Structure 1
Amino acid sequence: MGDFLIQIGATGMCPHGGPLQIVPSQVKVLLSGQPAATASDQFLIIGCAFTTPVPKPQPCVTAKFLPAVKVLLSGTPAVLKGGGLICQSAEQIPQGPPSVTVTQLKVTGT
């Protein structure tokens, strides 16, 4: 089943409430006036509150998303709202799935 494509201005967060920021790799395809997110974008988490274990905190710093199967933007798979795979610490330790709470509601893909 399909889901909405996300754009750079979409609102998302890590499981601990750290906001998701998307650094675009393409700026040609727009959704609601903003670049559409692709699998080659950087998905950064800024300000994750997860500070345990105490001797060496491991807050979320990146998020990974599953790429769309049928939608390509300039040859790169798009990213879907429900495609949040995992957030990771700086040492690539899995922290849980990211969530996208607000995105455009016109364009869907699979």
Structure 2
Amino acid sequence: MPGFMLHAGANVLCLHAGIAHPTAPNPRVTVGGQPIVTIAAPYTIAGCTFPAMTVGAPPCTTAQFATAALRVTASGQPVLLTDSQATCIPTGTPLTIVAAQPRVRAM
């Protein structure tokens, strides 16, 4: 199903309100003046509020996307879309894409 492409400035959060940023956006392709993100780029998470002290597990620190566009690639890697799915490490919870650019769709 088509979705809007993710760029480096998209609002992406872990379920515990931590802010996720791509580690290596693709600088060769831009949308709205910002580089897009491919499935190859892991995300780092800052400010996760997971209650590590009460549960004993550490908060979300990184995340990796498992799904991406089927037909559109950049530098040989599928681009991430607003409906792409990611898993946070070490908690195993998903990332939530809150806002992305509303102009470029991909499949």
Q: TM-score, normalised by structure 2?
A: 0.88
Aligned match for 2:95, one of 89, 93, 98: 98
Structure 2 counterpart of 1:11, one-letter code? N
Letter in 1 for 2:104: V
Instruction: Name the residue aligned to 1:31.
Output: 31
Which residues of 2 match residues 52-91 of structure 1 at below 5 A? 52=52, 54=54, 56-65=56-65, 66-89=67-90
- d(CA) in 1 for partners of 2:26, 2:68: 15
TM-score by length of 1: 0.86
Give the C-alpha shift of residue 78 in structure 1: 0.4
**2:41 and 2:86 mapped to 1: Cα distance?**
14
Structure 1 stretches of 4+ with a deviation exceeding 2 A read 51-57
SS across alignment from 1:80: coil
How far apart are the structure 1 equivalents of 2:25 and 2:82? 18
- Deviations, residues 27-51 of structure 1 (Å, cap 9, x unaligned): 0100110100001112111110103
- The unaligned stretches of length 5 or more in structure 2 are none
Q: Percent identity?
A: 29
Q: Deviations over 1:68-101 (max 9, x none)?
A: 1111001111011111231122xxx41x111111
1:18 is aligned to 18
